[in-house]
Structure 1
């Protein structure tokens, strides 16, 4: 049963019992949303909270579930749970906070939660605003059908946000958007959470380009197609020996990458990305549309790569052109920025230094800890 007194700080801690539900067990080596989820659970445990995780698909997925259990998280699966209404009726009142990831999960589960445990606080983790991403894709493609779908998603997503006690967004830009579109909703900023590498390799120890992004996310597929067809060939005319590494679950299955051209190496899924992050000089984020804060940008910066990105990819990450990142929005300008970052050691070092500072300031565990405290204050 929810007790408001638990939300008053005691010795700097709020020892609550949290239940997190996502569509599947997070796979932090495969997508940035999963990494954020795992790091959130790591933070909650470090703050002294009890944390349970329930995968909506009922599968406590192998070593990914063991990773969570190693953090002290209780992971439920199909073998020890009944269907939702009954499981909620039996167990949900024992949790102080329920976190539901993404609006389409929340719109189904939140009404069940309200009936089963009306005193349990419900947080909707938007991960990113889906309707914003869909609308931008429709604009890029000039697709009226996608525009209609984006409008439908907007209606559903805003309804889920309004129904929750708190909605988490990952960027100040999305918080400002919701202040206009859902002024009565309570919205809190919980950023991506990443760890910066101590002493990353310098300019001369690195070479080549890196793009990270799985093929199940449409903005990544669009970016890879643009990168391989229009951006990287321009880079190769100026840097004939340059190599582009493409990393992401399912990339090798894309028809456009069956013969990607000279200098392109398709790695598909890489369980341990650290060696490539330590070896490559420039991280690329040529996303033409999207929403939220891009985990690949955080990851590049945290590991000491200079970053070349579109303005869409840099949104919400507190980045300034030529201080933290090189920004461009057409193929020729992006290619020129890549060449400059690869060849100008002074510029490269400035971008890396500021990128590391940016990550520590805005996307660290300490920053997320303060954001979590803000959320608990709103839930009091």
Structure 2
């Protein structure tokens, strides 16, 4: 079968599987909104351009610079989701080390301000490239490393890469393990249909991990899972990448709770509903002046956000979260399911904000209850943790300091640089 035809058939099968999952999770109305509804817009259209991370100062030159091509569903929007921020910061790091970095959006779209800012980093963005099958045939052999984000893109692009440029090393960036997230949601909702689909996702995702030269994960939990499932697979840990503040604001002058997360990610929607309807009322009963700030793309459209619960302030998308992160007292992550490492948890801690979270939200973050984070699995426990630490400045300060130290140790640019050096050594 010709590579182009094989690519198109694989792409179609992948899209159909993803649509079946969306239908199981969201229903017909949610599926149609996801397929035909508007995606994130370029903030410059409203006159509020996001403050995007700029190029890094030159770093120590890599021992051997490489030509990298990164492919994702769309151009990263680092002010909107943690996966985009990780990808953006990875490209910043690679450029600072002297690597050639190109980015190819699968949707082919020019993302306006985001595309321009990415090019300002020195990244060559191939927006409007047309057919990826033809583009790969003409250009892929010019690169040393191809990084494909998410298994469902790899299903069509990895075989195409093998056929058109067999000398290129292919990396699957899992971002998070999709089948694990789907399985956990199915178990939470007792949804047999979604559980069957999650098993299919597992087969497809593991097949892509096995077929790639290397798979990246953000969580040590997922690294262990893949190594057990596929003993011969090459799996590397490439964590979320953040810049922790040098001197974040202390306890005094802070108030309120903050939840960050976009509504296009089902675990965030579930968390917001649980937070507003069950957890926050318990906090508010004991701290009557406390406010809950909800920040994330699409949150204002949720029914629970429109109900006008006392003390709940809905911001929807916020291009620059720094002011909220600097004035709120706690970052909340009441996620009941998910996978990977939760970027909101890392971001809170990087800004000196203590975190109250579920064990699911803290997975893979190296955090310990009572030392760096307060953990609870039910609404009452989460509310108790917020109230306890609100009334104990010494506990608040210990959590803030240890959380910041956690980011320095596990999620900083220095950590990512060491990970990239190890990855390059393995891919030689």
TM-score range, shorter chain: over 0.9
- Partners in 1 of 2:352 and 2:187 — Cα distance? 34
**CA apart distance, 1:11:** 6.5
Contact 2:61 2:98 in 1 (8 A): no
- Give the equivalent residue in structure 2 for 1:188: 236
Equivalent of 2:68 in 4, 14, 18:
18
The number of aligned residues is 369
- Give the equivalent residue in structure 1 for 2:408: 360
- Partners in 1 of 2:425 and 2:127 — Cα distance? 32
- Give the equivalent residue in structure 2 for 1:4: none
- Secondary structure of the residue that 2:380 maps to in structure 1? helix
**CA apart distance, 1:233:** 0.1
- Partners in 2 of 1:11 and 1:40 — Cα distance? 15
- Partners in 2 of 1:249 and 1:82 — Cα distance? 29
- Secondary structure of the residue that 2:107 maps to in structure 1? coil
Contact 2:106 2:132 in 1 (8 A): no
**CA apart distance, 1:184:** 1.5
Q: 1:235 to 1:11 in 2, by over 3 A?
A: closer
- Partners in 1 of 2:62 and 2:347 — Cα distance? 30
Q: Does 1:318 align with 2:366?
A: yes
Q: Does 1:141 align with 2:209?
A: no
**CA apart distance, 1:198:** 1.4
- Give the equivalent residue in structure 2 for 1:7: none
- Give the equivalent residue in structure 1 for 2:80: 30
Where does 1:272-291 land on structure 2 (aligned, <5 Å)?
272-291=320-339
**CA apart distance, 1:85:** 1.9
**CA apart distance, 1:376:** 1.1
Q: Does 1:68 align with 2:124?
A: no
**CA apart distance, 1:12:** 4.4
Q: Does 1:340 align with 2:388?
A: yes
Contact 2:108 2:130 in 1 (8 A): no
- Partners in 1 of 2:198 and 2:308 — Cα distance? 32
Where does 1:147-158 land on structure 2 (aligned, <5 Å)?
147-158=195-206
- Give the equivalent residue in structure 2 for 1:106: 154
Contact 1:23 1:56 in 2 (8 A): yes
- Give the equivalent residue in structure 2 for 1:263: 311
Contact 2:174 2:215 in 1 (8 A): yes
TM-score w.r.t. the length of structure 1 is: 0.96
- Partners in 2 of 1:42 and 1:121 — Cα distance? 21
- Secondary structure of the residue that 2:224 maps to in structure 1? helix
Q: 1:149 to 1:232 in 2, by over 3 A?
A: same
- Partners in 2 of 1:205 and 1:66 — Cα distance? 37
Alignment RMSD, CA only?
A: 1.0
Q: 1:96 to 1:201 in 2, by over 3 A?
A: same
Contact 1:306 1:341 in 2 (8 A): no
**CA apart distance, 1:84:** 1.6
TM-score w.r.t. the length of structure 2 is: 0.85
Where does 1:172-187 land on structure 2 (aligned, <5 Å)?
172-187=220-235
Contact 2:89 2:241 in 1 (8 A): yes
- Partners in 1 of 2:410 and 2:124 — Cα distance? 29
- Partners in 2 of 1:183 and 1:291 — Cα distance? 21
Q: Does 1:49 align with 2:79?
A: no
- Partners in 1 of 2:122 and 2:308 — Cα distance? 43
- Partners in 2 of 1:11 and 1:209 — Cα distance? 42
- Partners in 1 of 2:308 and 2:372 — Cα distance? 30
- Partners in 2 of 1:232 and 1:160 — Cα distance? 41
- Secondary structure of the residue that 2:252 maps to in structure 1? helix
- Partners in 2 of 1:142 and 1:116 — Cα distance? 44
**CA apart distance, 1:342:** 1.7
- Give the equivalent residue in structure 1 for 2:4: none
**CA apart distance, 1:313:** 0.2
Contact 2:186 2:195 in 1 (8 A): yes
Unaligned residue ranges in structure 1 (runs of 5+): 1-9
Contact 2:330 2:353 in 1 (8 A): yes
Q: Does 1:119 align with 2:161?
A: no
